[in-house]
Structure 1
Amino acid sequence: MSTPVTQLQHHPRRGAQAMLLSLTCFSGNALLLKELASHRHVDPWMSMTFRAVVGLVLTIVLFAPAGTLKLRRSFQSWLLASRGVLGALGTAAYYTTIGPLGAGKATLIGNTWTIFAAIMAAFVLHERLGLVKLGGILLALSGLSLLTGLAPGTVAQFGHHEMIALTGAVLAAAVVVVIRQLTRTETSATIFSSQCIYALLLSLPLAASHFTSLNTMDVVLLLAAALCASVGQLAMTEGFRFLSVAAGGAFQMTVPVVISLSSITLFAEPFTLAQAMGGVLVLWGSYHTVVGGFSKKAAAT
């Protein structure tokens, strides 16, 4: 049974627990995707297809019996359809760049969704955008320029993979804001299933010709990555039901740290000194952006 809307903002502990589960699963998903893309040469559209199918099946099994899943609404509600389309495109951006950029760098760029979400939330949801958040945004953008090589006179170094990853971050920010609006009227299962449906519509035609090239281990790793992604997404969606965009984003700060360190250790992912400094600034700036409204939110609850 879904929690009544009037009670959504009175369970910060439940929201924190959901966010911790999501960051653990997202970290595992990213490392598995890196292994699949770089070492097993599995097409990223295949990974996305498995994610969509597993996510949809998991959602149906867990929530359909309780009556909290309304699949038809993904085509009836423009807001749900927007969540599905934006989520599918954002996922595609991440999945297609994690191989060439590396799990750490792709995730750090993608993590800038927090600053874009804070800006969008200020205009759409009227969440406060104060000096602390603005300072964090500037720090994160400065770090992004170092991380991607985008600096005055060096625009040519900003490759198309970086551009795709950054576009994915903007799309992810839009998704978070849409989810925040949807939690007032829709269940977590219905919200998540919309992404699965539209992601499957996008990826399946592109992955269809690669199914015969998969071996048993490929399938096992694809299923594991898809399960991590599905559980992580469901947990994040549930977390945002009880937390503001800013507060929920604060819990996601650990994800790029764990992924980057693990990717360096397991895959010898290279980071120059400038990129490492940029990554630190992105995290520092993103942290200040999201926690600018966290302490007041926590105090109020």
Structure 2
Amino acid sequence: MSTPDTTQLLLDPRRGARAMLLSLTCFSGNALLLKDLASHRNIDPWMSLTFRAAVGLLLTIVLFAPAGTLRLRRSFQSWLLASRGVLGALGTAAYYTTIGPLGAGKATLIGNTWAIFAAIMAAFVLHERLGLVKLAGILLALTGLSLLTGLAPGTMAQFGHHEMIALIGAVMAAAVVVVIRQLTRTETSATIFSSQCIYALLLSLPLAAGGFTTLNLMDVTLLTAAALCASVGQLAMTEGFRFLSVAAGGAFQMTVPLVISLSSIALFAEPFSVAQALGGVLVLWGSYHTVVGGFSKKV
């Protein structure tokens, strides 16, 4: 989730809320479709990532190329854009490969900790201030993460590799946010988003190439639906942040993991222990305060 420019915010709560509700619905649909594709249809996550990248790139070209705001060549000419593309591709790949084994709820909750890692990185790279609210949010989220994953002092040897992949993906997503904050000074949103699609396609297509012949019509339909959900969800989130304060927009986005977790429990019987459920709540609570902590006095 990219941070909006509060100086250009045009507050329109109803319009912003509609966009955020669309984003919430699409992101939840994407995660649940990915879980179904991985667990019930045995679709390789690299195939899902290939469809997401291809559909996202096509949608970006259709929507933004006619207006002249899309510059695809910049993805190969700017090292910062290339960094955004590579890190974004790897972070998304980490999320896609862990939804199947971990469940949509846990994978999304772990991935949601990008907010705390982004705040820490921004403090060193962008010299952003870590206030008391942000620090408290970071501590809450880290405590929740330890409960959610079962990670505690002396237990690293038992820490599952899927949890580790999801955590590495969250760190990469945090790095993407820091890079995006710098890119927004020189690049359009369409160009920034397309860079991830390009590099994700370059990463996933060679790994998924052998599986295209095994896909049936329903597989293609569900893969396309999941990809459209991801792309529309991203665009709707960006639109929502144009018309909502960071606090309001952040609140909407922090409900995404909650909705996905509850839906995954209902639809796929994803198991959550009491400790993991408490950890998930702390991750959401801490991440929300970390996201809005630096903006609460401005908007």
Does the alignment reach a TM-score above 0.5?
yes
Deviations 1:55-98 (A, max 9, x none): 01111111111111100000011111111001000000000000
Please tell me whether the aligned partners of residues 140 and 286 of structure 2 are also in contact (alpha carbons under 8 angstroms): yes
Q: 2:161 corresponds to which residue?
A: 160
Q: Give the 5 Å matches for 1:177-216.
A: 177-216=178-217
Contact 1:192 1:237 in 2 (8 A): no
Structure 2 segments unaligned to the other structure (5+ residues): none
**C-alpha separation in 2, matches of 1:46 and 1:239:** 29
What is the identity percentage for the equivalent residue pairs of Structure 1 and Structure 2?
Answer: 88
Letter aligned with residue 189 of structure 1: A
* 1:9 Cα deviation after fit: 2.7
Could you tell me how far apart the structure 2 residues matched to 1:144 and 1:6 are?
A: 29
| Structure 1 Cα separation of the partners of residues 244 and 165 of structure 2 | 29
CA pair 177-141 structure 1, distance change in 2 beyond 3 A: same
Distance 1:182 1:165 in 2: 25
**1:178 to 1:292, Cα distance in 2 relative to 1, 3 A:** same
How many Å separate the matches in 2 of 1:47 and 1:221?
9
In the aligned structure 1, how far is the partner of 2:296 from the partner of 2:196? Answer: 31
In 1, distance between residues paired with 2:219 and 2:82? 31
How does 1:37-76 map onto structure 2 within 5 Å? 37-76=38-77
Distance apart, 1:291 and its partner CA:
2.4
Shift of 1:281: 1.1
TM-score (norm 1): 0.90
Deviates more, 1:98-107 or 1:223-232: 223-232
What number of residue pairs does the alignment pair up? 294
Which amino acid in structure 1 is aligned with residue 61 of structure 2?
I
Rounded to whole Å, the distance in 2 between the matches of 1:6 and 1:154 is: 41
Gaps of 5+ in 1: none
Most deviating of 218-227 and 117-126: 117-126
Seen in structure 2, the aligned counterparts of structure 1 residues 180 and 244 have a Cα distance that, compared at 3 Å, is farther
Task: Give the deviation of 1:8 after TM superposition.
Answer: 5.5
Q: Could you tell me which residue of structure 1 aligns to residue 8 of structure 2?
A: 9
Question: Do 1:29 and 1:226's aligned partners in 2 also have CA atoms closer than 8 Å?
Answer: yes
In the alignment, what sits opposite 2:270?
269
SS of residue in 2 equivalent to 1:177:
helix
Question: CA contact under 8 A between 1:121 and 1:245: conserved in structure 2?
Answer: no
Aligned equivalent of 2:115:
114
> What TM-score results when the alignment is normalised by the length of structure 2?
0.91
* 3-state SS of 1:297 partner: coil
| 2:247/2:296 contact within 8 Å kept | no
